[in-house]
Amino acid sequence: MVKKRVIIVRSNLLDRDVRVPQEMKALNRAGYKFTLLCWDRECKDAPPLQKYGEDDFREVRIRLRAPWGVKILPFLPIWWCVSFFHLMLTKWDVVHAVNFDCIIPSIVAGILKKKPVVYEMQETYEDLVVLPRIVRYFFIHVDRLFTRLAAAVILADEAQSEELGGIPNSRVVAVYDSPPDFFDKINATHPKNDKFIIFQASVLYRIRQLNLDKLVSAVKDIENVKLIIAGFGDQVQEIEQWCHQMPDKIEFIGRIEYRETLERSKEADLLFEIHSSLVPRHKYSFGSKLLQAMMCGKPFLANRRTATAAKVCQENCGLVVDANNIEEIKKAIIKLRDDPELCQELGANARKAYEQKYSWKIMEQRLLSLYRKLT
């Protein structure tokens, strides 16, 4: 049997990604032969290819130095042109485009070659920042057009369909950003602290409006509590200042590997994500932080009026607060700190939800089922 050839188009290297490598491994195990076409914006060495696949895998890097964030916009047309010509010169059966910045060349190449295109919307680009209503309205309709032209659409959350006013495509599936099930494989590598540990590992850019300052303001007045933050971005300097001001309350450990993120998540007492509800993406898509908490069986703290808060309430696996109300955040943390049984109950609910609805094993079957229908 001839193996189907899939080309995955991604606008960055996989050293910043967890989800795509998991998808690639799943496709590889299912017998697909695939290529990763990616944008090397920093022109640096990356981990060995064997980390992401086996014999039927190769990687093509477009080495074009470019910044991150909104400053990348002038470079996108160059990326689109180069990736389009590569798609036209390469043999493939399915192109799998990840996010808006990869769909344009993929759709055009798919139409010209009469091949199916899978559009994976990990995040809705018009939701990353607060845009004028008319500009956002325009981009949402453009995104909706691409979902109609694609052979299939993969969402990070079903609520994205609501945001687009429905998706005009008969093949739409939600594949959550779930971690593999490491629950029984994670060793207790970090000594248990006698304080109530709150932990988050994230991409620390101000444009994401993480509201970390709100949590810091709440923690500084609570006894026997420590906040540990990991990650990278333009907010690091501010976080380091907090650490200097409150060394017994705040700890910054820098960028860590995904495995250590899960290990520290399982060792913590509380995980959180209190992004601003004013950023549209937080209303229509819940993130990987909650899924990591579910896998690790930990309670979760979320901001009201977000997709994450809706999932927390639905699964009864944490507490919901108003991120702009410092006193409310304090009360929630104190409540969990002083009630280990409540923490255990919420954590058990989180783990149950992971096993029954959100595990990567379930997501993998959704992905492969979609591909079987296409190929």
Sequence spans of domains, the chain: 5-177+360-374, 196-358
With tokens 């595990």, the residue in question is 359
Q: How far apart are CA 347 and CA 340, in angstroms?
A: 10
Which strand ranges, in their side-by-side order, compose the sheet holding 250-252?
250-252, 225-232, 196-203, 270-273, 300-303, 318-321
- pLDDT tens over the chain, length 375 residues: 568 899 999 988 877 678 888 999 899 888 898 889 999 887 766 555 444 445 567 888 888 888 776 677 788 999 999 999 999 999 999 999 999 889 999 999 999 999 999 999 987 766 655 567 777 788 888 889 999 999 999 998 888 888 788 899 999 999 999 999 987 766 555 456 689 999 999 989 887 889 999 999 999 989 999 999 999 988 999 999 999 999 999 999 999 988 899 999 999 999 999 988 877 677 777 878 999 999 999 999 999 998 899 999 999 999 999 999 999 999 999 999 999 999 999 999 999 999 999 999 999 999 999 999 988
- Sign (positive/negative) of CA torsion 189, 191, 192, 198? negative
Q: Where are the alpha helices (DSSP H) in 172-325?
A: 212-219, 236-245, 258-267, 280-284, 288-296, 307-315
Q: What is the pLDDT of residue 342?
A: 97
Using a 10 angstrom Cβ sphere, with 0-12 exposed, 13-18 middle and 19 or more buried, the burial of residue 315 is buried
With tokens 């937080």, the residue in question is 282
Q: How far apart are CA 109 and CA 88, in angstroms?
A: 6
Q: Dig out the tokens for 310 from the structure.
A: 């809706």
Its CATH architecture, for the domain 196-358, is: 3-Layer(aba) Sandwich (3.40)
Q: How far apart are CA 38 and CA 240, in angstroms?
A: 33
Its CATH architecture, for the domain 5-177+360-374, is: 3-Layer(aba) Sandwich (3.40)
Strand partners, 23: none
With tokens 């193996």, the residue in question is 3
With tokens 């190769």, the residue in question is 58
Query: Is the separation of the CB atoms in 329 and 211 below 8 Å?
Result: no
Fold: same for 5-177+360-374 and 196-358: yes
In the structure, how many helices (H) and strands (E) does the chain have? 14, 13
The helix-helix angle for 212-219 and 326-337 (nearest 10°) equals 60
Q: Dig out the tokens for 1 from the structure.
A: 């049997």
